[in-house]
């Protein structure tokens, strides 16, 4: 790293981390803080990268899962002359500001969509003429819902094709949860679909049906990715990896079937953390979620770059 320059203003700091890329830490709103990577070609094109579920930061990391997946993706795209903006999930920004647990529990899925929409308007005011969304995992649906007339194109990476309640039930089945517990889980989901919370869920599934989390889940499960992607009239690219054991290629196929005009790329041996995994062993796969030095699967960024530059 050379020519490091740090400038502080009321809203952002600027760091030159490479000869031809400038990084600006921006505050878009009270809930959106992230990093804009600026190539020196004065591009008017920017890609907004939206992270997946959980307390995920702008780099694609969580407390005990450090992969730098979204950081590497942003750098690769910006090195090709396209600006990128990636930001922390709302809850992380609130935590940094000392928000109470009650206020964080009040966050809803729709708030993520609102954050994405505000980011588009912010970047438009900065002079960007072509704005693309890149949504990873949960971020795929967020980006779909936030895509409107000011968004040029949409890219889904490891995005689910089914509603979150269907995905949860499948994941529980894959974990070989006993039949009786599965039936109780379905009962809780059925209650949540009516807009109500349910206290009578199996204690063993508290990490899934935690009561303060249920209102967020209720808001999330009302959206069907296949129905939302049908509504898009902008260029769309759907990407998934063959070694993604969280969101399988079947999910990508559902999205493609719902939006036949979308471009469709299945990347061999790429997992959910955007890393290359040769083994079929899930433990070996999971290890890459905490290997920040491991670069992303070769070719992923280029597929996105080619799509944006068309």
Asked if residue 1 is part of any domain, the answer here is no
> What integer pLDDT is reported at residue 4 of this predicted model?
34
Same domain for 51 and 124? yes
Asked if residue 196 is part of any domain, the answer here is yes
Structural domain for 214, as ranges? 164-222
Asked if residue 300 is part of any domain, the answer here is yes
Is the separation of the CB atoms in 22 and 43 below 8 Å?
A: no
Residue 137 sits in a domain whose CATH number is 3.40.50.1820
> What integer pLDDT is reported at residue 206 of this predicted model?
93
Asked if residue 172 is part of any domain, the answer here is yes
| 263-267 sheet: strands from edge to edge | 6-8, 13-18, 21-27, 33-39, 83-87, 45-50, 130-136, 153-157, 236-241, 263-267
pLDDT digits (tens, 9 = 90+) for 52-103: 998 999 999 999 999 999 999 999 999 999 999 999 999 999 998 999 999 9
Same domain for 255 and 184? no
- Which of 111, 135, 132, 114 is CA-nearest to residue 225? 135
> What integer pLDDT is reported at residue 175 of this predicted model?
87
Burial of 198 (0-12, 13-18, 19+ CB in 10 A): middle
Number of domains in the chain: 2
Same domain for 213 and 143? no
Same domain for 17 and 133? yes
> What integer pLDDT is reported at residue 17 of this predicted model?
45
Asked if residue 191 is part of any domain, the answer here is yes
> What integer pLDDT is reported at residue 9 of this predicted model?
32
Decide which of 172, 199, 222 is a domain's last residue. Answer: 222
Decide which of 201, 222, 243 is a domain's last residue. Answer: 222
pLDDT averaged per 10 residues in sequence order, the chain, 310 residues? 33 45 96 96 96 95 95 98 97 92 95 98 98 98 96 98 95 90 96 96 92 96 98 98 96 98 98 97 96 97 97
- DSSP 8-state class, residue 36: E
> What integer pLDDT is reported at residue 205 of this predicted model?
94
Decide which of 174, 200, 222 is a domain's last residue. Answer: 222
């Amino acid at each position: 790293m050379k020519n490091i320059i740090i400038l502080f203003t009321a809203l952002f700091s600027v760091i030159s981390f490479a000869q031809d890329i400038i990084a600006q830490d921006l505050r878009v709103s009270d809930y959106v803080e992230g990093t804009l990577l600026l190539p020196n070609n004065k591009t008017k094109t920017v890609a907004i990268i939206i992270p997946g579920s959980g307390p995920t930061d702008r780099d694609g990391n969580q407390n005990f899962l450090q992969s730098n997946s979204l950081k590497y993706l942003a750098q690769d795209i910006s090195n090709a002359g396209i600006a990128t903006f990636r930001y922390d999930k709302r809850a992380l920004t609130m935590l940094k500001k000392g928000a109470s647990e009650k206020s964080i529990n009040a966050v809803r899925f729709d708030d993520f969509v609102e954050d994405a929409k505000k980011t588009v308007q912010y970047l438009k005011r900065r002079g960007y003429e072509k704005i693309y969304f890149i949504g990873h995992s949960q971020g795929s649906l967020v980006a779909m819902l936030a895509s409107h007339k000011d968004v040029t194109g949409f890219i889904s990476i490891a995005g689910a094709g089914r509603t979150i309640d269907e995905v949860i039930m499948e994941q529980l089945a894959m974990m070989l949860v006993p039949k009786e517990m599965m039936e109780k889980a379905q009962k809780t989901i059925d209650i949540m679909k009516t807009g109500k919370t349910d206290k009578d869920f199996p204690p063993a599934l508290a990490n899934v049906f935690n009561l303060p989390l249920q209102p967020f889940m209720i808001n999330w499960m009302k959206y069907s990715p296949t129905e939302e992607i049908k509504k898009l009239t902008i260029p769309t690219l759907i990407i998934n990896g063959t070694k993604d054991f969280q969101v399988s290629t079947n999910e990508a196929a559902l999205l493609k079937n719902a939006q036949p005009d979308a471009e469709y790329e299945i990347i061999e041996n790429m997992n959910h953390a955007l890393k290359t995994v040769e083994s079929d062993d899930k433990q070996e796969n999971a290890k890459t979620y905490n290997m920040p030095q491991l670069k992303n699967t070769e070719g992923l960024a280029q597929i996105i770059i080619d799509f944006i530059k068309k």
